[in-house]
Amino acid sequence: MPALMNYNKEKPWVIEQKGFEQQYLGKTESVMALGNGYLGTRSSEEESYIGEKRDTFVAGTFNNFDENEVTELPNVPDMWALEILINGELFSLSQGSVTNYSKQLNLKNGLLTRSFIWTFKDIQLQFKFLRFVSMARKHLMASQLTLNNLTQKTINIQIKSGINGQVSNEGSQHFTDGEKGLMNGKFIQMMPRTTHSNIQFIQTVHHLLSKSATERPETERRAFFMNYNFILNSEEIISFEKRASIYTSIDNDLKDKSLTALRQTAVAELQNIDKKDFDELLAESTNTWQKIWDKHPITIQSKNFKDQLAIRFAKYHLHAMVPAHDEHMNIGAKGLSGEGYKGHAFWDTEIFMLPYFNFTHPDIAKNLVTYRYLGLDGAHKKAISNGYRGAQYPWEAAKPADGEVTPIWGAADIVTGQATKIWSGFIEQHITSDVAFGIKQYIDVTGDDDFEEEKGDEILLDTAQFWASRLEYNSKQNYYEIDNVIGPDEYKEHVNNNSYTNYTAHWNMTYAIQLIEHLKKNKSPIYKKLNKKFNLVKLKEELEEKSTKIFLPQPTKAGIIPQDDSYLNKKLLDLTKYKEKDGVDSLFHDYNLEQVNQMQITKQADVLLLMLLFEGLFDKELKLKNFDYYEPKTTHDSSLSLSTHAILSADLGKLDKSYDFFNKAINIDMGEYMKSSDAGIHAASLGGIWQMIVMGFGGVRMIDSKLRIEPHLPKDWQHLDYGFDYHGESIHAEVEPDKLTLIKADDGQSITFLHNGKEYTLQNTVTITL
């Protein structure tokens, strides 16, 4: 495999691909995806290639293609493509020769640059494409092509550019062919509408060419283009700019506007920026990005410069994909960078990404937890349809009220050739306690009492009620159990008493009991409201009876917490060969899921994740035993796995191992493996990168509602600086191998935290010898 990805110490904010390989288009389309949380777009080349995935998404605009498919984020008509004819022949890198090819993304401001010299027959041209999605103006995208004629003669150039609705989500067409035309004589406008959710899109394009050209409009089904024709003299340089915007009828800042008004708003925006050149528009966006970078910057002094780049990569993408503008939306498992998982949100949000937002952007975190509050109706619907009470959160979520949207059928089984049933939407139930856990963490980190009283407590009680109704009584054993589930390890379907599920359900229920007691004791004004909904006395009784009798799998003689009732009796398989391979799921080239179900093979952290999230429940010796037992049996086929292992092994003093996991984890998308990211970037693993640095090596954690800071640097790191928000205070941490310094502005409230069991108070500065 060619080493195409290039990282260079001299360019500490840049990820780069050197050399063009048509078979690996998906990699840079995803890892260099652009976005501002309102919209996101894959960085496909301007000219088209077979195998490309030319996707643009607007957050929250879900649509059902038909009743046999689940709702998904529709791929919006394309606005980036340029069809370029050079002396009448179609420009493509698959013809002629290409030198100095570089495609790079500047993580600091989201500027995508692609440049090369193209020689074809007797023509030589220098191309430079620039592109960004504005962080300052959420509807706006802009691109610029600079062409330099290096040939000793004139060349005829034709550029066809506009809006192309001849796109789909792998064949599913989500839009009607809306009205299209030229507004004010120069703005191309197209108005597709989603077929079922009836969301009106308004897409507008304005072209600016630095030299005069003949212009000819061209319409096709679902498309509107302009053709520009001009002569490029020898050594002449021209620029061709494209400014594009997307508005939709669900934009929360423009909700009550009529379609006509929306169309005018879109045109007016492009008209208003007529006087600004590309660099000025970029500068606005760069400034907005800078505010993000200025909030709690992380500096790592490491022998390996890629460590620093990795956190920039993670933060860049987290902000490119998080819908910070609207609490009705969440983060898809692939963000806005690909069709994978259809734009749906999973537990990836609460367990892997939310900690980053809780600790660094509590305002955005608030939107993400509010989304779950808005999802209560959908969660009730799901519980009722399964014969339960309370709030049962969907495994996959789209619009808050949709409830469960996990597809039912997946890829073909390699043994039977039949489509595999996806059971997660039915029985992967730990999502409900994951949501509750996320809510509690948000409240603990931010101290947001208003959210807690208005929304958070209700979710925590509603989810506890679900678990109470979900438990099954085992009369032989005289305990309550949870049968027929999938735990985090999705390779084990239909298991009983998955430890992660049982323990987290138990936590949810016991926390609800404490909450009811607390509300009653403090005569909280919300007691009445919640009592009306839940009948708190009765709920508390039920929770007390059931939570004391729930089966919590205990360690075996060898000190192993069984992953579920049957796991430890299953066959063993040496996984070395699969662990060495690059691609995930290579195991499934040899075995089908049914066979893997019968072996002690774990897809991702399961018992070990439980031990990380609820560290106080298990002692170090037990954690070590379980780590040594489960890790060799774990394929890490899910991108969610490595960060958990990195943090836990750092906690357990296995720092070399931890750093090894860290390196693998940062390479999930950034690595050399060119097929890793085809379906989109791995959103949870980006949250995992921040967690490994700040929660793992930086040692920041919320344990039993208390802040704990216990850093441990890997040996290649000399220094780590990071910051975080806690209860409205901004804290800066400097970590050296033997010293931790915490700094906080003097004027705020003092903060207490734990370090190695001792309580410290931070008013201004605290220094601790490690």
Q: Is 339 in the site for ligand BGC (CB under 6 A)?
A: no
For ligand BGC, what does the binding mask look like between residues 279 and 318, x meaning CB under 6 A?
----------------------------------------
Least Cα distance to 264 among 184, 176, 163, 325 occurs for 184
Question: Number of helices (H) and strands (E), helices first, in the chain?
Answer: 21, 31
For ligand BGC, what does the binding mask look like between residues 458 and 497, x meaning CB under 6 A?
--------------------------------x-------
Residue 220 catalytic? no
Q: Is 684 in the site for ligand BGC (CB under 6 A)?
A: yes
CA distance 196 to 28: 32
Encoded tokens for 424: 């997660």
Q: Is 243 in a helix, a strand, or coil?
A: strand
Q: Which is nearer to ligand BGC, 203 or 644 (CB)?
A: 644
Least Cα distance to 345 among 66, 72, 75 occurs for 72
Q: Is 640 in the site for ligand BGC (CB under 6 A)?
A: yes
Buried residues in 72-99 as b, exposed as e (16+ CB within 10 A): bbbbbbbbbbbbbebeeeebbbeebebe
Burial tier of 475 (Cβ tally within 10 Å: 0-12, 13-18, 19+): exposed
Considering the candidates 83, 339, 452, 490, report the single residue annotated as catalytic: 490
Of 341, 507, 551, 567, the one binding ligand BGC (CB under 6 A) is 341
CA distance 665 to 489: 18
Q: Is 352 in the site for ligand BGC (CB under 6 A)?
A: no
CA distance 179 to 274: 24
Neighbours of 377 (CB within 10 A): 13
Least Cα distance to 530 among 483, 577, 460 occurs for 460
Are the beta carbons of 318 and 296 closer than 8 angstroms? no
Q: Which stretch binds ligand BGC (CB under 6 A): 64-72, 342-350, 409-417, 537-545?
A: 342-350
Q: Which is nearer to ligand BGC, 59 or 86 (CB)?
A: 59
Q: Which stretch binds ligand BGC (CB under 6 A): 281-289, 296-304, 343-351, 573-581?
A: 343-351
Residues in the interface with ligand BGC (CB under 6 A) total 11
Q: Which is nearer to ligand BGC, 45 or 348 (CB)?
A: 348
Residue 455 CB, nearest distance to ligand BGC (Å)? Answer: 24
Q: Is 348 in the site for ligand BGC (CB under 6 A)?
A: yes
CA distance 451 to 457: 8
Q: At what angle do helices 525-534 and 499-521 cross, to 10 degrees?
A: 130
DSSP conformational letter for 602: B
Q: Which is nearer to ligand BGC, 42 or 744 (CB)?
A: 42
For ligand BGC, what does the binding mask look like between residues 178 and 207, x meaning CB under 6 A?
------------------------------
Of 104, 143, 189, 604, the one binding ligand BGC (CB under 6 A) is 604
Neighbours of 564 (CB within 10 A): 26
Q: Is 333 in the site for ligand BGC (CB under 6 A)?
A: yes
Residue 428 CB, nearest distance to ligand BGC (Å)? Answer: 8
Neighbours of 231 (CB within 10 A): 12
Of 346, 356, 507, 662, the one binding ligand BGC (CB under 6 A) is 346
Encoded tokens for 265: 């708003």
Residue 644 CB, nearest distance to ligand BGC (Å)? Answer: 11
Q: Is 613 in the site for ligand BGC (CB under 6 A)?
A: no
Of 175, 316, 347, 356, the one binding ligand BGC (CB under 6 A) is 347
DSSP conformational letter for 554: P
Residue 309 CB, nearest distance to ligand BGC (Å)? Answer: 23
Contacts with ligand BGC by CB under 6 A lie at 333, 341, 346-348, 490, 603-604, 638, 640, 684
